Amino acid sequence: MRNLSIILNTSFCSILLYLLIGFDLDRSDTNLLIFSFSGLFLTFILIMFQDISIRSIFLIGIIFRLILLFSIPNLSQDFYRFIWDGNLQLIGLNPYLYSPNQLFNSDYLFYLASDLFQGMGSISNENYSNYPPVSQFVYFISAYFGKNNLFFSIIILKIIIIFSDIGIFYFLCKLFNLLKLPIKRVGFYFLNPLIIIELTGNLHGEGIMLFFFLSGIYMLIKNRFFTSSLLFSISVASKLITLMLIPSIIKRNKKNNLKFYISFILFFIVLWIPFLEKNLYLNYISTLMLWFNKFEFNASIYYLIREVGFYIKGYNIIQEYSIVSILILISVIIYFSFFKENKSIKDILTSQLFILSLYFFISTTVHPWYLISLVTICLFTPYFYPILWSGLIFLSYTSYGSEGFEEKPLMIIIEYLLVFSFFIFEIKGNKNMIFNAFVKNLSLSK
């Protein structure tokens, strides 16, 4: 009875906080935002400590998402660009060939053009679209059914994302059963406030990417290599980040490697065919490189090296750093893909966790929603530090104050000092300690 009371009370508190964040807060209200998210994260952890059934996790998670169904994203401007790209496709324009600045001063584009242009901000206005073809298809669907109504377009995107989350819930449960992991771990995804706010709340596409990625992992376990390769192709064509993880499965299907990778590459190319035009390649690569050699936000190792660069050379060394970081990332992928055992699915997923972790550790830009893939993959491993990080990364929103954008070094130091400390603590032999505390005395199939 006490267990049920705690779940009901914490869920009710969470509902109030989701309503506050979704409908009454701006990201410039940093103190209240951090306080509200901290409360959500604490209630989430408290719920996960209870003896809670999978049905209850699903029901509570759906309620939290539905609360945000009719909210307008208030922590990110990206959704304006999503809907812009969708509307460009409706009028027959390739979103990879034109930046908003190149089109906005031309003749009438479409009904929502002015609102979307003003909403997305100057950085997005200046650059070509970086969202892969499956994401573009989703944006097209949103624009098509939104019928020149911004609110309706947002609702369509939210419905697609919620259904993707339901699919993730399904495949996480299936995979946990196959791998004999405590099925309750699904709650660390489905009830995690970072996941709910950044996907349903702010409309980021990581959920769509992860739905196809997890279904691809499931088919890989079932030795359905062709289907798996197709699903992985769709995942990468939703968000490119999963491309870094594909090489790590090379030892899983040695007899079928050639067929697997040929079908993966061919289907990935097919997905791009509707957008293939002159200059697409150059525009897309130049846009992607911005994440390595221009954009800076909530970084860790890079910020330390940048300060050393200022001291020694007197200028920002991000251009030099971008080359070195890409080489390091390639080396990390090669090491975890070809020099690690990776015989079992658990080995593969652990290697993928470290590939993503090291990528984010050296990145120049780490937005909160980037961690969604890290949180999801960690559930198959003994490592809890991505869950902790998902509770700390909201500190980065303190950069968006009432007086404009300015990062707070103290907040970044607190975030990464705790993350790196916990990371070292776990890899030094204390893995599974935290996860075991949550599943103590609970059956695997509950």
Per-residue model confidence as pLDDT tens digits over 346-378? 999 999 999 999 999 999 999 999 999 999 999
Per-residue model confidence as pLDDT tens digits over 387-430? 999 999 999 999 998 778 999 999 999 999 999 999 999 999 88
DSSP state of 72: P
Residue 341, pLDDT score: 83
Neighbours of 191 (CB within 10 A): 24
Give the pair of three-digit tokens for residue 16. 């109030």
Under the banding of pLDDT at 50, 70 and 90, the label for residue 176 is: very high
Per-residue model confidence as pLDDT tens digits over 10-20? 999 999 999 99
Residue 259, pLDDT score: 86
Per-residue model confidence as pLDDT tens digits over 29-44? 999 999 999 999 999 9
The stretch 267-296 carries a mean pLDDT of 91
Residue 445, pLDDT score: 35
Strand partners, 405: 400
- Say which residue the tokens 């975890």 belong to: 336
Residue 257, pLDDT score: 81
Residue 444, pLDDT score: 37
Residue type, 195: I
Buried b (16+ CB within 10 A) or exposed e, 231-241: bbbbbbbbbbb
How far is CA 275 from each of CA 137, 279, 310, rounded to the nearest angstrom?
11, 11, 41
Nearest alpha carbon to residue 178 among 223, 233, 230, 229? 223
Under the banding of pLDDT at 50, 70 and 90, the label for residue 440 is: low
Residues belonging to the chain:
446
Q: 342 in the Ramachandran plot: left (φ > 0), alpha (ψ -120 to 50) or beta?
A: left
Q: Which residues contact 368 (CB under 8 A, 6 or more apart)?
A: 194, 198, 393, 394, 396, 397
Model confidence pTM above 0.75: yes
Residue 107, pLDDT score: 61
The stretch 221-244 carries a mean pLDDT of 95
Segment among 151-155, 168-172, 209-213, 288-292 with least mean pLDDT: 288-292
Per-residue model confidence as pLDDT tens digits over 79-105? 999 999 999 999 999 999 999 999 987
Residue 117 has pLDDT above 50, yes or no: yes
Residue 225 has pLDDT above 60, yes or no: yes
**How far is the C-alpha of 197 from the C-alpha of 98, rounded, in Å?**
30
Q: φ, ψ for residue 400 (rounded to 5)?
A: -100, 75
Residue 407: is it exposed, middle or buried by C-beta count within 10 angstroms (0-12/13-18/19+)? middle
Neighbours of 189 (CB within 10 A): 25
The answer to whether 115 and 100 have CB atoms below 8 angstroms apart is no
Residue 343 has pLDDT above 90, yes or no: no
The stretch 246-256 carries a mean pLDDT of 80
Residue 1, pLDDT score: 58
What is the average pLDDT score of the chain? 93
Residue 432, pLDDT score: 83
Nearest alpha carbon to residue 387 among 225, 115, 187, 220? 187
Report CA 370 to chain centroid distance, whole Å: 4
